[in-house]
Structure 1
Amino acid sequence: MSIIRRLLGERDGNVMLLTAAAVIPLLAIIGGGVDMSVAYLVRGKLQNACDAGALAGRQIMDGADWDRTSREEAERFFHFNFPDGLLGTRDVSFEIAPGEDDDNELVGVARAVVPMSVMRVFGYNQADIEVNCNAKRDMGHNDVMLVLDVTGSMNDRPSAGGATKIARLRSGAMGLYRALDDDNGSVTRFGIMPYSHTVNVGRSLMNKDIVKEQPYVHVERNCYYYNGRQYCYNNYTTKWVNINESSWNIGKGGGSTGGNTQNFRTSGDGCIEERPSIGHDQDPYEIEDTVTRADVDTRAGNAGNQPELQFGRYDPGVQEAETQSGCPSEASTMQPYASESAFQTAINNATVRVTGGTYHDIGMLWGLRFISRTGFYADDNPTERDGIPVRQHIVFMTDGKLDTDDASGRNDLYSAFGLQRFQGRVQGSGAIRTRHINRFNSICTLAKSMSVTIWVIALDVTDTDDIEPCATSSAQFYTSDGSDLEQIFEDIGRGIGNLRLTR
């Protein structure tokens, strides 16, 4: 008893004993913190990998079709983001499949085992981690305007060979339709704007939009030579003139339809001459190298007495000085297509006429006019349907650089801007091609400011400097050799779709 009393009364070494006793719970706290930090880190990475796999799998699906390719794509993205042995994990698994109640939604679960380091001493050997992920393509509503190059070079075969570029376009565009054809209650509408050096939009306009009398170029004919000089009869002035002094003149009239706007619009050959820029009259007829919102949206009044706001008739028959002309197929405003075959027919009809020069600005301008919510078709372009927003997109595809007629008129190509050599309508500094590039860039910038997403496809083009900046971002710019055109259209369709996580 005396020994015990002495031990109880002895204070020497008590601090050491107390410290030793405290080490065990302290180690548990520190070790548990270390191990749990690893477990939480694994959980975060496992969740990210699960999300990536679900999104990738849903992205590659065609509609609600879940197949081996889709599953393998989901697994590939999961394992890329969570490689084997990451942070010492083992028994990693990833399961994903369509949901039982909604086959448009993918439901996934990922599991991993995290071995404990310090906590193993206390009997905790591992932490079992499990996370869930869901992904759904919530398409919403989309208006998609196709602005398609149908110039003469589209009849050529691409550098890689095979079918012509226009044939590849006709089949490739189906990829866009299929990628957006999800049966989830969303509404997708398409407009089609084939373009060359003009556009065929007459049927989509009203009589008030077409000018009754417009300027034409006249060249003197019935010529004769006298004393070394050529004299020609001018039908407009009814005088014989020295062609060396005046070889042409500008007349004004109703053209081949005599000013009958209804006949012109419904003829199927309703290609137009672009009107002056807003703020200018027909005399002088000036088109600026920049485009404003007013240029896109302003429309003539019902009285039809505002020629500066009206469009001319593309009329090669009376434009005497032209040596190259052509009118592409008719454009179509925004509308839904009930089936792939109906959409295929629309694309085929829009690409029948393949001819002419490459004026990107006229195609983009009218594509923007067709999709604008504040202009000609405002009543048909709503911002939402049943409370769900309608997103707007322009898909612009071309096979070449902007290619205008030379200002000297060596070819005298008759475009939507008239005959530049004689009529000099397009204003601005630099070469005429530069002015049209400036217009194109201005339209692209304007479209983006109107919340329109622009997707650009350069088909078999080696120099893309003119068109690449038009895309909303580098992610919306694609190049194609022709063989992958359908896949590119499909990728754009998937990009237009609003893929989102639903967990």
Structure 2
Amino acid sequence: MQRQTSHQPRTVFGRLRRDVRGNTLAMMAAFLIPLCGLAGSAVDMGRLYVTKVRLQQACDAGALAGRKFMADSDDTALDTNAITQARTFFANNFTSGFMGTPTFTATTNPYPFVPTKTSDNQVAGTASTAVPMTIMKMFGSPTIMLKVTCEARYDIADTDVMFVLDTTGSMACQPSQTSGCSATIGSYTRPDGTTGYYNQEVSGSKLSGLRSAVMNFYDTIAANVDPSTHVRYGFVTYTSTVNAGYALPAGSMVNDWTYNSRRIIGDANNGGATAQTKKPVTKAACDAAATGRSPATGYTTNGQATLVTTAYATSDSSCVITTQPLKPNWRYTKVSYDVSQYVTGATVTDPSKITGATSKWQGCIEERDTTPGVSTFDQDNLPADLDPDRLPTTNATRWRPMWPDVVYYRGNTTSVDYAGNSANPYGDSTSTSQFGQYTALGNYNNIAYGYVSCGKPVSRLTTMSRSEVSNYVNATDFKPQGGTYHDTGMIWGTRMIAPKGVFADDTAEWPGRNAPNRYIVFMTDGDMSPNEQIYGMYGIEYYDDRIANNTTNPSLTAYHNARFVAECQAAKSRNITVFVVGFGQTLTSQLTACASPGQAYYASDNASLTTAFQKIAKQVAMLRISQ
């Protein structure tokens, strides 16, 4: 059957409907309008984002500048200078006409940035501007208004700063004098009236630079602190020991301690005997002429004694009287003494002498018990001397007074008997050399040349005025003396600022306030340089072996360095930020390891020391954006 085909009329519109040629072009034309809208939206949204970011940055900068220059007053309104500075910094960060925003000048009213003073003496601000649309303007989009807010404050929470300062003999020299300056020895009168010795400073000494740097640090903090902020300062000056005894609370010191001293063990002949015969005499009269005495008693203050013996002959009633001059025979050894009165600051008789000499404690200490021969320490199980939290509850954890007057060199680690070669007093040594055998550490040369030292007393954390800080670093006893032991300074600096331990009350938070930020500023001009012959915080290490445990000097340095780094870690683990400044001293690996990350500084001269201290102070008093 033949299929029928229907033929419809071919009209113009019908042909157009069936003709698909050129459809892509038509579709592109139709989609062009929404695509332009999307592209324009992206462009203008990007412009809005960039403008808002820049506006926020400018607002922050203006608020920071306003807070920086804000006058300290009770006015509720921000002072004119702070407003001017805030606007200047805003304009430097958001230029007039940026991204087509309205232009402005210093006299534009209203100004696009408005800084204000808050109720808690900070600076807040609002910044606003109009951003005209570009492509989206063709679609009827209006100009967009942007507004941001900001607030700036000094991030100087209540703050404790402990200065740990190297005041050893080399600080008397200029920074450029790396090999020493041959400073002469001078004397000064301590606040308690006793005489001290020190290395006389040359012009432009490092110690003079340190004084200026400390004052600049104080001024930098003072210029940036809020009236409501509490700042406390403390000082530890260190050599081979620290003068901290009188800062300790009652019950912190032992009542007796054993020193490398001497005691009389008997008599020694002081020349030949003389004999005299008398007759006739009775036996009773002969016996009465004798001055029988026990050995080691009856000496005069110059060390003389005599022993008179008699021999009676009944055959002729004669009496032979023999006189023997004597002097004390000393045993140089470890001797235990009662120090209960000595540690009070009272003047006491020197028990190691027969001259009637007296002693008065300056305040320098021997450290409490430690573990010798150790170079790696467990922070969770530190020995008593390295544990800043350990309270003095037993003799092992209490401190001991340094007593150089009763400490003597004896030449070896064993006991030595010696009757002396001096006539004033009899029985003593005539040596005047440093660490000469049988000489007391009170010997002038031992003190003057740093084999024993006792510097300025520490200052516990407290609020200090500028004049009080100045008085401390310019005091008559802020003198260069002694040798360099970084561990002694760090042990006491950490101990005095740690949130627990014997000085915990000093660094406790103020009532109703958060805990203070805690900082140690550690400054040294030299390498660790222990000496076996020095009498310091651990006794005379040649005799006492409290650190290296019978090792030689090079190992002694390594052991002290290990203790130093361990104590730095103890500080940092207690959220104490440690700044370290090497003054004319290369930053050794130990000094760098001691510092908190990025907080080790090198100062080549007095000017750069001040700069380093100023940088540290600015970090302590950091200005920040709070919102």
TM-score greater than 0.5 by the shorter chain? yes
Give unpaired runs (5+ residues) of structure 1.
Answer: 225-232, 242-247, 281-285
1:386 is displaced (CA, Å) by: 0.6
1:58 is displaced (CA, Å) by: 5.1
Give the letter aligned to residue 403 of structure 2: D
Q: Is this contact kept in 1: 2:484–2:526, CA < 8 A?
A: yes
Structure with greater proportional helix content: 1
Q: For residues 71-90 of structure 1, what are the structure 2 equivalents within 5 Å?
A: 71=85, 75=89, 79=93
1:123 is displaced (CA, Å) by: 6.8
Q: For residues 52-451 of structure 1, what are the structure 2 equivalents within 5 Å?
A: 54-55=63-64, 71=85, 75=89, 79=93, 99-101=116-118, 105-107=122-124, 118-119=135-136, 121-122=138-139, 131-159=148-176, 163-181=204-222, 182-218=225-261, 249-254=333-338, 259-263=341-345, 269-277=362-370, 286=372, 289=375, 290=377, 292=382, 294=384, 295-301=387-393, 306-321=394-409, 322=441, 323=446, 324-337=451-464, 339-349=465-475, 352-383=478-509, 385-405=511-531, 407=532, 412-427=533-548, 431-451=555-575
Report the CA distance shift for 1:414/1:56 in structure 2 as closer, same or farther (over 3 A).
farther
Give unpaired runs (5+ residues) of structure 2.
Answer: 1-10, 74-78, 107-111, 178-201, 270-295, 297-302, 304-327, 348-358, 410-440
User: Normalization by structure 2: what TM-score?
Assistant: 0.62
SS at match of 1:36: helix
1:74-131 CA-to-partner distances (Å, cap 9, x unmatched) read 849965xx89999899969998796345695345566788786643655779867554
Q: Which sits farther off after the overlay, 99-108 or 291-300?
A: 99-108
Report the CA distance shift for 1:427/1:66 in structure 2 as closer, same or farther (over 3 A).
farther
Give the letter aligned to residue 313 of structure 1: P
Report the CA distance shift for 1:114/1:419 in structure 2 as closer, same or farther (over 3 A).
same
SS at match of 1:484: helix
Distance 1:205 1:307 in 2: 15
1:236-257 CA-to-partner distances (Å, cap 9, x unmatched) read xx7689xxxxxx5323324xx6
Q: Which sits farther off after the overlay, 153-162 or 21-30?
A: 153-162
The percent identity for this pair of structures is 30
Distance 2:556 2:466 in 1: 41
- Please name the residue that 1:230 is paired with: none
Distance 2:476 2:16 in 1: 104
User: Normalization by structure 1: what TM-score?
Assistant: 0.76
SS at match of 1:385: coil
Distance 1:261 1:143 in 2: 29
Report the CA distance shift for 1:128/1:395 in structure 2 as closer, same or farther (over 3 A).
same
Distance 1:151 1:184 in 2: 37
SS at match of 1:297: coil
Distance 2:361 2:457 in 1: 7
Give the letter aligned to residue 542 of structure 2: R
Give the letter aligned to residue 142 of structure 1: T
Report the CA distance shift for 1:240/1:138 in structure 2 as closer, same or farther (over 3 A).
closer
1:201 is displaced (CA, Å) by: 0.9
Q: Which sits farther off after the overlay, 26-35 or 441-450?
A: 26-35
Look at both structures and tell me which one has the larger radius of gyration over its CA atoms.
2
SS at match of 1:148: strand
SS at match of 2:461: strand
1:147 is displaced (CA, Å) by: 0.9
1:276-334 CA-to-partner distances (Å, cap 9, x unmatched) read 12xx7xxxxx5855472753232333xxxx33222221122121224321101111111
Give the letter aligned to residue 390 of structure 2: T
1:500 is displaced (CA, Å) by: 2.7
How much is the aligned-residue C-alpha RMSD, in angstroms?
A: 4.4
Give the letter aligned to residue 215 of structure 1: T
SS at match of 2:405: coil
Distance 1:77 1:165 in 2: 44
Distance 1:166 1:85 in 2: 55
- Please name the residue that 2:299 is paired with: none
SS at match of 1:363: helix
Match of 2:49 among 40, 43, 46: 40
